[in-house]
Structures are given as C-alpha cells and as structure tokens.
Amino acid sequence: MKISKDPTYETERLIIRPTTVEDAPFIREVMNTEGWLKNIGDRKVYTNEAAANYIKEKIRPQQERLGYSNNTVIRKSDGAKMGSCGLYDREGLEGVDIGFAFLPEYGGKGYAFEAANKIKELAFGSFGLSIISGITIEANMPSRKLLEKLGLKFIKYMHLPNDEEELMFYQIRK
C-alpha cells in the first residue's frame, strides 16, 4: 500500500498532520516549554530559523523515508496548534518510538491520549509496524501513565547510544 507523503488524520476533536517548515514557530514554542526541557532535553532550538532547520534536518527526512514522523496536533474547534505526536525511528531502540509533547495549557484534557492512540492505530494498521516502543525518564509520571494507558508495558531501564540519561523502556506488540 502506498502511503501519502503528507497524510492528514482526524479524531473526534483533532487534526493530526505531518510537521512542516511552516510549523517552525510552534515547534520552537513546544521545544522550549518547561516540560520539554525537563523531560526531553534542550535541543537548542531557540529561534524560528533554528526550528525550521530542525524540521528540515530531523523531521522531514524520516517522513519522506518512512511515511511517518512527527505530527502537529491541531484542535478542530478553533485551529489551535496544541502539541506534537508521532513515531520516531531512533538509533539503539527496538521498535519505533511513540512520542508526544503538548503545550502546558492543553495538558490533562485527554488530547495527548487521543492523538497518541490514533498514531498507535496507524502504526499497527496503515504503517504495518509490529512493535511500538516508548521511552521516558522515570520522573516523568504523565508520560509513563500515558504510555501505560496506550497499552505499552515497562520492559527495562536503558540508555540510548551516546546518552548517559537512564530511560524507562516500554513496548507493545501487535
């Protein structure tokens, strides 16, 4: 099955579409929230230009190669860009990593679960994946709870290549 390069998906409340360079200001904002910096890490994306380069160099190549990557999550009711959610092909990780990050004002309203659950369905259906992984730091309870709500099970503690931070590794199989 041929997958569209930039497909758009919908849930009851959300539009989920591949992140593009036009999303650079939003991506800069998300990547500099307290939650992102504390739980994911500083990617040194402080300007819209740096965000555009990050999208061109890190996000778009995977989208073009695999047909999935980071998505911008938009609320249908008002067009607000709320967060990002996607599947990430990470070195040193068995299975594709499901990840999510939302602006703080949209937390606790079920948007992250709604988006991530749709991405999980697509992973096992449209994208033909058989394993989805998830990684998070132990202190990130919201992420851990969301991974578990999605059906992922904690497997082990691990480190990504060239990274000293200990991560919790979760996984679900089709």
Q: Count helices and strands (H / E) in the chain.
A: 6, 8
Going by C-beta distance under 8 Å and a sequence separation of 6 or more, which residues neighbour residue 110? Answer: none
Query: Which amino acid, residue 6?
Result: D
> Which candidate, 160, 164, 6, places its Cα nearest to that of 90?
160
What pLDDT is attached to residue 91? 87
In DSSP terms, 55 is beta-bridged to none
Parse the chain into domains and list their residue ranges: 9-173
Report residue 101 as tokens: 């990050």
What is the block-wise mean pLDDT of the chain (174 residues), using blocks of 10 residues?
69 97 98 94 96 96 94 98 96 90 96 98 95 96 97 96 91 95
Q: Does 9-173 carry CATH code 3.40.50.920? A: no
